[in-house]
Structure 1
Amino acid sequence: MKKLNIYIIAIALFAFGCDATYIDDIVPVAVGPDEEAPEVVINFPLDGTQIRVPEAVTNLNINFEVSDDIEIESVIVRLNGTELLQVTDFLDYRRLVRTFNYDQLGNGEHILSIEAKDLSGKTTTETVIFEKIEPYDPVYDGEIFYLPFDGDYLELVSVEEAAINGSPGFATGIKGRAYQGSSSGYLTFPTEGLRNQEFSAAFWYKVNPSPDRAGILVMGPPDPNNPTNQNFRNHGFRLFREAAGSMQRVKLNVGNGSGDNWFDGGAAADIDPSKNEWVHIAISISGSRAAVYLDGQVVSQGTFPGIDWTGCDLLSIGSGAPRFSEWGHLSTQSLIDELRIFSKALTQAEIQAIIDTDRL
């Protein structure tokens, strides 16, 4: 009985399978002549990419795509003329998306070429030239942080990328490219290694007076009593600008643990926006004194008990946000370039030496 049932089911399946009402007509797919050469797209590295890492030899993830109108026959990846990879088997014979890891990239300029050939013998080769730059060696005594803004937000001593908030950009700088502020843009870094008993920062600034006040550099603690408009000034520092008539006045506030100290130079600390000029700004903080410099000249200085770094785990660049926002010192739309931080209190002579070198 069991064999009979199986036989009946088989007949039924065959009958339904052969019924024209249950099967679409087979339509042949016309394949035309192979008219197009393969297309090659190199996603990384791009032409002009600069790779900065602490190691002398590093990994390179080569990412690329190859497509063809009919069928790819082979893809060859070469670095500086040496073959690294050849692909001849394809899951999708019209398209290949691949990331290949090369683990022996050394310092210097490199030429990456990717050659793709289709079944008719047409060949396409794409080439990019990129560079692995030697690890940055600090130029100045006590230099622990250097952000040149040359087309990226990479800090070169730690080789760490900034966290980007909003949409800052780049513009022509005092050297190479510069940070271009935006209405809500700013950068942040963790402060590990930056919180020292002595502290200095030096950079170039081209002021945009709109908005009429803005944060420039802030390393402050959270304000638990005012989390949406933070302004707890007992620790860390706040460097900012605000309107003084037609001028923009640079001010520094430093927390000493039990309160805060102000370094406001009045008119001496004013920048004239109408001149549209680069101005060098530096702050120098020791265990007993702090000073603000414009173009190498002291515009404000005085004694204080020393900086207290409690809770200061975040450095903001280009804004007072998020730790110094209550008074509206938010994102600057100004330009910033060649930002350096030091684990020492810079002297006036040292600041002038930096200015002279940057102007070469």
Structure 2
Amino acid sequence: MTSNNDQIKGVSRRSFLYSLGALALSACGGGGSPAAAVAVSRATSLAATSSVTLAHVANGATDIATSGAFVHPGLLHTQADFDRMAQKVTGQASPWYDGWKRLIANGHTRLSWSPRPQVEVDRGGSGSQNYPVLYNDIAAAYACALYWKVTGDTAYADKAVQIMNAWSSTLQRLGGDSNVDLAAGIYGYEFANAGEIMRSYSGWTATDFAAFQSMMLNIFYPINVDFLNRHNNTDITHYWANWDLCNMASIMAIGVLCDDHTLFDQAANYFIDGAGNGAIAQAVYYLHPGYLGQWQETGRDQGHNTLGIALGGAICEMAWNQGIDLYGYDNNRFLAGAEYVAKANLVQADGTYLTVPYMTYSNVDVTQTGFSTASQGTIRPCWALVYNHYVNRKGLAAPWSTKFAMAIQPEGGGGDYGTSSGGYDQLGYGTLTCTRDAVAPATAPSGLTAFPSAGQVVLSWWGVANGTSYNVKRASSSGGSYALIASGITDPSTYTDTPSAGTWYYVVSAQTASGESANSSEVVAVTAVQPHTYLTFNETAGTSAADATGNGHTGTLVGGATHVAGRAGNAVSLDGSSGYVSLPNNVVADVSDITIAAWVFWNGGNAWTRIFDFGAGTGRYLFLTPKNSSGVMRFAITTNGGHGERGINGNAALPTGQWAHVAVTLSGTTATLYLNGSVIGSATDVVFAPWRVGSTAQNWIGRSQYAGDPFFSGSIDEFRIYRGAMSADQILTLAQAA
């Protein structure tokens, strides 16, 4: 893995950490009103077994909080995995035995291996970079540990222990430049895995095992956690996803090795809602239809892009073996990333590659407008793990990960693939260690979503392992009867419907060799403009602002927010220092096309105050400001902080000292900004709908996600949200209402 740009970037208004939380959406919106789109719960299936608990915190988010005894061995492999490997190798069953032959042919699996421990290991910088000594010894320790677990030959156990004891009694520090963060992350998770395999060996004394734990906890972990907390004092978008991922993997592995729940939970929760690019919502940067999840490093090169799958898969498997289903989190978001990367890098019979969709990506350093073909076709031994979890363990379809796994089977060790493929950035041997007999395929497609977009409805779903094609069905009422509207869909698993305006219900079924499967769970899509939230602010006292739609989206007055006379009836007054209105968590997280409108009386003030700002911190939000630094109104939405914003600058600031009607609409990728019923700005490249922002616990009227921005000073009345984009005439009608 090559070095990141080491230049230190100044920290802007962006904070390092924010909470993305967890989102659970039902088939209906609040109060029984049908939702515009149904997303699979971001919190469901996190608990894979009963060995952990989930702590539900007050704001509606779900944090992972493990308790009780860890499973040992319980990182990349469990004892059940080793029992399977031993049985399959003894019977010379393919492909396990083919993977075994790759292991024993590898030069690291030999009893003559002599460890070369160092007092200091350096990666990066102008001095001697001796980190290959470390990763080669780790590869040898891991390979010998596998050999022992499969055969019971204690000579190999002794060799693995010899290597680990040599390092734990010698290594005192990791050094170099910022690339030491990569060394601590990659070699930390790999070394911890070797130690976890060997912890039950009677020939490894308790004292020596404790010394190994101490090395991991006191030399590797401090660098891991410091990186995730500070990112070397750079802008949070500066470091590529793999820097976060390797350090998360190391923290998680050390947590299990050292029986430390705090470390394990820290890594698992960062994967879910961390601020950096390695957290899954940022790592899988953009979900294209059919759940092709564009990986964060796609515009950089495919060597790093494929490494993301190797590291992300390791994290998911280690968590799974401790009872946490990160694989399935956010509707199998990791699988979406794996399928995208696999499809883009799998060479075809004629030597070409398939094309994948691409969305422009921006961070503090670069804007990448297209897919990078650099290192395209990179092979890493990571696909057996992905394929075997989703297909053979869960019964889902993962066609591109499957094809890649089959094309490179049997997988060798990490070092077998050369430095051009990031050799030793992963442990490898997945054919031997990860292959499992298939479970029965899923009985129906799953994870169906239906998002309205400019009058159309875009559906995506996860297929079944034995599916050959898929059927899409639609009904005008919940539960059917469903009419078949499309059939014979193969790849990708998506369909775009163009129904009339209304409320529509969808299911998908699979065609298999034995016939048609059951229908998927039903989802609903609303293609007509429909009230979502309406705060009249007509209360005269208290801190509640009722939602007149009946959907239960009650506002809460906070700080210097009070009831005052408004345009007609009352309004909410915000004092410009602490007053704002808080809306419920995830208030627009199941909305795609949208209209937000309000009457606003602004007293004026500095730039970047907010009329509204719905988000999860400074990385993911949508907002409207009466005046930006250029002196005009601005609407923006982002899933990657300020550098990734898509939005509109109006042609004027919001007037001060008078009531003005403001509105913003989003229809597909077209956003329009209105002032007093007239268009003051528009853009056609706003590709982030509210649902893409994800779960949000900071949904505010009058307050910004950025702590340095001023609070709103003035009054707000008749704050409305609609599903669907109103027409210009409808906006004008709102603006002219008495």
Task: Give the TM-score taking structure 1 as reference length.
Answer: 0.51
Once the two structures are TM-superposed, the CA of residue 167 in structure 1 deviates from its matched residue by 2.1
Structure 1 letter corresponding to 2:688: G
Q: Deviations along 1:314-334, whole A, 9 cap, x unmatched?
A: 3101111xx233xx3331111
1:272 corresponds to 2:664: no
SS of 1:292's partner is strand
2:633: which partner in 1? 250
- How far apart, in 1, do the equivalents of 2:699 and 2:587 lie? 12
Q: In 2, Cα distance between the equivalents of 1:200 and 1:191?
A: 18
In structure 2, the CA distance between the partners of 1:192 and 1:242, relative to structure 1 (3 Å rule), is closer
- CA distance in 2 between counterparts of 1:287 and 1:324 reads 27
Q: Once the 2 structures are TM-superposed, how far is the Cα of residue 172 of structure 1 from its aligned partner?
A: 1.8
Letter in 2 for 1:156: A
Residue 220 (structure 1) shift:
1.5
Q: Does residue 317 of the first structure (1) align with residue 701 of the second (2)?
A: yes
Structure 2 Cα separation of the partners of residues 256 and 346 of structure 1: 24
Q: Name the residue aligned to 1:27.
A: none
SS in 2 for 1:334: strand
Letter in 2 for 1:187: V
Name the SS of the counterpart of 2:612 in structure 1. Answer: strand
Matches within 5 A, 1:1-360: 141-151=529-539, 152-157=544-549, 158-182=551-575, 183-192=577-586, 194-195=588-589, 196-211=591-606, 213-222=608-617, 231-232=618-619, 235-242=620-627, 249-255=632-638, 259-265=644-650, 268-273=651-656, 276-304=657-685, 305-307=687-689, 308-320=692-704, 323-325=705-707, 328-356=708-736, 358-359=737-738
Answer yes or no: is the 8 Å Cα contact 1:238–1:324 preserved in 2.
no
Distance 2:639 2:629 in 1: 27
Distance 2:553 2:637 in 1: 26
Give, as a single letter, the amino acid of the residue that structure 2 aligns with 1:174.
R
Contact 1:150-1:178 at 8 Å conserved across structures: yes
Deviations 1:184-222 (A, max 9, x none): 111111244523111110110111113554111111123
SS at match of 1:269: coil
Which amino acid is 2:564 matched to? Answer: A
SS of the aligned residue for 1:180 comes to strand
| Correspondence for 2:418 | none
The count of corresponding residues between Structure 1 and Structure 2 is 201
Residue of structure 2 equivalent to 1:67: none
SS of corresponding position for 1:210: coil
Larger radius of gyration: 1
The amino acid of 2:672's aligned partner reads A
Change (3 A) 1:198 1:175: same
The aligned counterpart of 1:10 is none
For the residue of structure 1 that corresponds to 2:588, the secondary structure is coil
Letter in 1 for 2:726: L
2:529, 2:725 within 8 Å by CA — same for their partners in 1? Answer: no
Alpha-carbon separation, structure 1, partners of 2:712 and 2:584: 20
- The CA deviation at 1:256 is 5.5
Supply the RMSD in Å over aligned alpha carbons: 2.6
Shift in Å at residue 178 of structure 1? 0.8
CA distance in 2, matches of 1:193, 1:220: 10
Letter in 1 for 2:537: F
- In structure 2, stretches of 5+ residues that fail to align are 1-30, 32-527
Per the alignment, do residues 352 and 189 of structure 1 end up closer, same or farther by CA in structure 2, a change over 3 Å counting?
same
Counterpart CA distance in 1 for 2:554 and 2:676 is 28
Contact kept in structure 1, 2:646 and 2:688, CA below 8 Å = no
How far off is 1:254 after superposition?
Answer: 1.3
Q: From the superposition, tell whether residues 298 and 340 of structure 1 become closer, same or farther in structure 2 (CA, over 3 Å).
A: same
**Contact 2:662-2:676 at 8 Å conserved across structures:** yes
Secondary structure at the aligned position of 2:598 is classed as: strand
Pairwise CA distance, 1:244: 6.9
For 2:581 and 2:587, locate their aligned partners in 1 and report how far apart those are by CA, in whole Å.
18
Question: Offset of 1:257 from its aligned partner?
Answer: 6.2
Please say if residues 596 and 720 of structure 2, whose CA atoms lie closer than 8 Å, have aligned partners that are also in contact: yes
Structure 2 vs 1, CA of residues 155 and 330 (structure 1 numbering), >3 Å: closer, same or farther?
A: farther
For the residues of structure 1 that align with 2:668 and 2:640, how far apart are their CA atoms?
13
Residues 72-130 of structure 1: per-residue CA shift (max 9 Å, x gap): xxxxxxxxxxxxxxxxxxxxxxxxxxxxxxxxxxxxxxxxxxxxxxxxxxxxxxxxxxx
Percent identical pairs in the alignment equals: 21
Q: Which moved more, 1:206-215 or 1:346-355?
A: 206-215
Is the partner of 1:354 in helix, strand or coil?
A: helix
Q: Secondary structure at the match of 2:533?
A: strand
What letter corresponds to residue 605 of structure 2 in structure 1? S
Q: Is the 8 A contact 1:240 1:250 kept in 2?
A: yes
* C-alpha distance in structure 2 between counterparts of 1:262 and 1:160, whole Å: 25
Distance verdict in 2 for CA 1:257–1:212, change over 3 Å:
closer
- Report deviation, 1:164: 3.1
